[in-house]
Amino acid sequence: MAHNPWAEVGVLAHTKPTQHRPATSSTASEGEVTLYGTPSRAVVVHSSAQDQRRQPRLARDIQASQSTLETAARPAEQQAYFCRADADAAAAQRRAVPTPSHLVDVTVEERPV
């Protein structure tokens, strides 16, 4: 959806905005996606109110995901393996660490002794 233009939908609520509850505006974007091998039309609607309310929660989730990755990465950075097969197996395990907000890329580096 990043490359598609967003169209302004405007204010959809019937209630009048107040000082403590400003009007919520919406934007929409559409495009084609392929899900499970089937091409589909996707429509994304973005609400400004949801964006403001969800930002603190998203920031906490991203921080928790980063902490999980850093905790898992520290021992792996210090570990030395004596054969390539063991290092590749450990790298595959590190890539499989589930995080909702980050992608993990692990490389194996050879260090001759």
Helix or strand run (H / E) with residue 50: helix 48-78
**Burial zone of 113 (CB within 10 Å; 0-12 exposed, 13-18 middle, 19+ buried):** exposed
The confidence score (pLDDT) of residue 39 equals 92
Q: Is the dihedral of CA 106, 55, 61, 1 positive or negative?
A: negative
Measured CA distances, 24 to 12, 17, 21, 44, 68 (Å): 8, 8, 9, 16, 35
Per residue in 23-53, pLDDT (tens digit) is 777 888 888 889 899 999 988 887 777 666 6
The confidence score (pLDDT) of residue 4 equals 64
Per residue in 77-112, pLDDT (tens digit) is 888 888 889 989 988 888 887 777 887 888 888 888
